Amino acid sequence: SGGLSGAIGSIALNAGYIEEEGFSSFDGGAEADGFEQFYLTGRGRLAVSDNFAVVANGRYADSKLDIDGFAPPTFAFGDTNERQDSRDLSGRLGVEWDYQGALQFRAGFAHADIERDLINLDFGTDPFFSTDGTSNRAEAFARYEIADRWKLDAGGDYEWTRFSDGFLVAKAEIRSAHSLLTFQSLNDGYGEVIVSAGARIDDHSEFGSEVSLGASGLWEFADGWRVRASYGEGFKTPTLFQLLSNFGNTALQPARSKAYDAGISFTGERVQAAVSVFRRDTNNLIDFVSCFGRTVAICDNRPFGTYDNVGQARAQGFEVELAVSPIDDLRVQAVYSYLDAENRSAGSANLGNRLARRPDNTVTFSADWKSPLAGLNLGADLRMVGDSFDDAGNFTRLDGYVLTDIRAALPFDENVELFGRIENLFDEQYQTAAGFGTQGRAAFVGLRASL
């Protein structure tokens, strides 16, 4: 990697190559499914004047991923000599303008193109299935300081998407506009109040228009203590991939949601703590249906699984966070999350069931220490995840698991750093989707350098 910067602009380039032996995609498979990727990224900024700049970024990646599949005649999931080749190209060109801090404006045009080929190496290197998805997006955003305490954010975008699998071509256009009005008290410390309210309209060429509202508030009622609350509505249309790919379902409908959350937090010199509660009610939640070992109607001719709507779903719970720095160079943190995600579709055979692949309980402990030995940084994470179900019918249970990661970084100077980490230190065997393998113990070592 490397870069240059000066008074009128900067440019940075980064290129890399990744090769991993990997692990079997099929749990219990006899061969590892590896991964190989070459990538190139770049970004640049040109200051045309004191308050106007042109910005650009881009990325290209060429990847090869070994996969397992569903071989005839049984079409049971298992080891196959298959590979997915991907080529990703994306970039954005934009402008930024700041008028005396009172008006800030940015606009740009972004393009993304993703091509994927599925290849069975037992029959050569010609793909047996290919997809190509593109997206073009024009966007503009502005922030206006109405007065000392008031800000108005507004913007809009127009996106054109296209999907092709060699047999069909589908297109969609998505237009949206939004505005957000924010009031912030002039108090920098105790007594600070921030209140905002906004609206968004989305218009989809296939699914029509929808207006979504939102509001939030924060109050620092004592030194270091804050309470907050928010309400938001969501509108999500199915992507062309969810509709038309080999996982697709053309009967999908847009998902609509209403979400609420509230919390209280404390920030002190060496202690940070927070408690929050949340609820989200969704109509027509778009969810993935696993067809591994299942014969229900939606899985007919869909051994890979598919997407479907959950008529009504509710996800609610709470989260507790605590971080302590007993000394300057040590930080210890713990986060506990409880999630109750339930199918609430009246008349559904799955009424009252837990939503698939959403564990109830998750606990994460982490610690980071900067040692006095040459600035060596050491860290560790312990993540405990509870049981869940793989399917909407709650027939296949996924057992909980515990993962431990450790990491270290040694800086030689401000531009060069040697780093390493070990993931899944104790080689835990677990699944996040039934029948699919997960990474065992893995070690990574690298060198970061900047110019």
Rg (alpha carbons) of the chain, rounded to whole number: 25
Confidence bin at 415 (pLDDT 50/70/90): confident
Q: What is the pLDDT of residues 252-296, one digit of tens each?
A: 999 999 999 999 999 999 999 999 999 999 999 998 887 766 667
Instruction: Please state the pTM of the whole predicted model.
Output: 0.85
Find, among 306, 151, 310, the residue nearest to 244 by Cα: 306
Indicate the average pLDDT of the chain.
91
The residue-averaged pLDDT of 16-30 equals 87
Find, among 183, 181, 160, the residue nearest to 172 by Cα: 160
The residue-averaged pLDDT of 17-33 equals 87
Residue 270, burial from CB neighbour count under 10 angstroms (0-12, 13-18, 19+): exposed
Confidence bin at 226 (pLDDT 50/70/90): very high
Q: What pLDDT was estimated at residue 338? A: 98
